[in-house]
Amino acid sequence: MKKTIKPKLEETRAHAFEKKVYERELPKTIHENFYDQYDPDPSAVSVLGARSTLAIGEDISTFPIDILDRNILVGDHYVPIRIYQTTDQKKNVIYYIHGGGFIAGTIASKDAQCKYLAQMSDATVISVGYRLSPETMFPGAIDDCMGILAWIQTLGYDHICIMGDSAGGNLAACCMAKDDNHVIDYGILIYAALDVATYDETEYHWNYDFYEMANEQKDRIMNRLYRFRNLSIDMKKMYVPEHKDVKDPDISPLYIEDLSNFPPILMIEAEFDYYRPCNQAFEKKLSNCEVLYYEGLDHGFFDRIGQLEQAKDCIDEIAKRVKAL
């Protein structure tokens, strides 16, 4: 496994937030008890709140990008997609699945990332608007993503790459696991939520001790991790039906036993990501894996293109690998 460490650009202290990340966290109230037993009733989870507070990146593309919206019939319903490409015909396609905890996220919320990716990769980018929870719980999102993958397969591209961030990374991993015809040539997982089991259920027993933290920022870093610990609980309650085992490999790809079906994978990690431990456990199971590790960053940095230089760098790195196929 090849691992490339991406150092912080402005902060020099080890195991500290990057400067812009710290500045974002500084005004936020520090929670009093990072070890409390957060267990809300599903009806108390603010789905509308999650959908109204999406981070929207800035468009940094410099070439004209053609954008086409379509609705593709999958089963008994239509799934929206958005296609991005520069004007000439492309030989490769990147199938992108957005994050948002299975309950939020939209095609439009990742327009900036997809436009810049289309510019830099010399590939067509197709983004999917799969059905969200709790209106459509597991396995609705996977069914939609697999249906769009089957449609993309009919388009005749030389190479199909699949890419997802956070919950979208979970869905991308599930698609690769189900790719019995081996139509996917390359996978990109950005801080993927590969284990939907909550911190007290995981086999590796997630805890704050998995992270080295600069003493002077420890409360801020733990505060950020604490919020994602709670969001992961919300996510499970909204996405996973009560009768389903959260460690079902179709729900939590970390528990897939045989990964021999997987294509080469680029894993993109952030130092202070809640899901970094399960990503690293997943990497050990992969036979062909490359890792980009961003120091000082946290979950969601990919959302902040135009604000964090590392989000641009992440897309540049992905684009280089797609062009090399």
Low-confidence ranges of the chain (pLDDT < 70): 200-204
Longest dimension (CA), the chain: 55
Count H helices, E strands: the chain? 8, 9
The pTM of the full predicted model, rounded to 2 decimals, is 0.97
Does residue 92 sit in helix, strand or coil?
strand
Which pLDDT belongs to residue 218?
Answer: 97
Return phi, psi of residue 174, to 5°. Answer: -65, -40
Q: Cite the beta strand spans of 98-185 per DSSP E.
A: 124-128, 159-165
Look-up of token digits 């997809």: 114
The DSSP code for 287 is S
Half-sphere exposure of 164 (CA within 13 A, CB side): 29
Which pLDDT belongs to residue 261?
Answer: 86
The DSSP code for 213 is -
Which pLDDT belongs to residue 198?
Answer: 78
Asked whether the CA dihedral 137, 252, 258, 178 is positive or negative, the reply is positive
* Domain segments of the chain as ranges: 2-323
Return phi, psi of residue 40, to 5°. Answer: -75, 155
Could you give the CA distance from residue 55 to residue 71 in angstroms, rounded to a whole number?
25
CATH code for residues 2-323 = 3.40.50.1820
Does residue 108 sit in helix, strand or coil?
helix
Could you give the CA distance from residue 238 to residue 28 in angstroms, rounded to a whole number?
26
Using an 8 Å Cβ cutoff, are 124 and 90 in contact?
A: yes
Residue among 187, 322, 202, 189 nearest 262 (CA): 187
Which pLDDT belongs to residue 53?
Answer: 82
Residue 272 in tokens: 């202070």
